[in-house]
Amino acid sequence: MDVRKQIDLKTDVLIVGGGAAGLSAAVAAARNGLKVTLVERYGFCGGGAVAGMSGTICGLYQAFKPEKPILEQVVFGFANEFINALEGRNGIGDPVLYGNTYTRVHDPLVWRHVSDGFIRHENIQVIYHAMVVGVITSGNGSDEVLGAKVFTKQGLLDIRAKMTIDASGDAEVVAMAGLPSFIGDEGKVQNPTMIFRILGVDVEAFIKKYGDNAIKGQEVASLIQSKNEQKQYFLPRSKVFLFPTTRPNELLCNCTRILGDDGRELNPLFYQDFTEAELNGREQVTEYARFFKENLIGCEQSFVNDTGVQVGVRQTRQVEGKYKLTNKDVVVGSKFENGIARSAWPIELHSGNKPRVEWLYNDFYEIPYECFIPQRGKNILVAGRCLSAEHEAVASARVTAQCFAYGQAIGEAASICIKNNLQPNQLSGSDLRLVLNQKGAQLN
Ligand SMILES: Cc1cc2nc3c(=O)[nH]c(=O)nc-3n(C[C@H](O)[C@H](O)[C@H](O)COP(=O)(O)OP(=O)(O)OC[C@H]3O[C@@H](n4cnc5c(N)ncnc54)[C@H](O)[C@@H]3O)c2cc1C
Q: Which domains does the chain have, with CATH numbers?
A: 7-65+106-187+317-438 (3.50.50.60), 196-307 (no CATH)
Residue type, 427: L
Ligand 1 centroid–CA 1 distance in Å is 32
Note the pLDDT tens digit of each residue in 323-354. Answer: 999 999 999 999 999 999 999 999 988 877 66
pLDDT at 353: 66
Ligand 1 centroid–CA 230 distance in Å is 36
Which of 315, 385, 404, 406 to mutate to test ligand 1, by most ligand atoms within 8 A of the CB atom? 385
Residues 6+ apart with CB under 8 A from 415: 13, 28, 29, 32, 34
Which residue's CA lies nearest to atom 26 of ligand 1? 384
Best CA proximity match to 203, nearest among 351, 122, 97, 302:
302
DSSP classification of residue 148: E
Instruction: Determine the atom of ligand 1 nearest the C-alpha atom of 407.
Output: 25
Ligand 1 centroid–CA 22 distance in Å is 10
pLDDT at 355: 73
Looking at 12-52, list the stretches that DSSP marks H as alpha helix, in order from N- to C-terminal side.
20-31
* Residue pair 127/40 in contact by the 8 Å Cβ criterion: yes
pLDDT at 220: 96
Residues 6+ apart with CB under 8 A from 78: 24, 27, 28, 404, 405, 407, 408
Note the pLDDT tens digit of each residue in 193-252. Answer: 999 999 999 999 999 999 999 999 999 999 999 999 999 999 999 999 999 999 999 999
Which of 307, 398, 402 to mutate to test ligand 1, by most ligand atoms within 8 A of the CB atom? 398
The burial of 139, by beta-carbon neighbours within 10 Å (0-12 exposed, 13-18 middle, 19 or more buried), is given as exposed
User: Which residues, given as ranges, of the chain have pLDDT below 70?
Assistant: 353-354
Q: Which helix (H) or strand (E) holds 218?
A: helix 218-229
The burial of 172, by beta-carbon neighbours within 10 Å (0-12 exposed, 13-18 middle, 19 or more buried), is given as buried
Instruction: Determine the atom of ligand 1 nearest the C-alpha atom of 130.
Output: 43
pLDDT at 356: 81
Which residue's CA lies nearest to atom 34 of ligand 1? 17
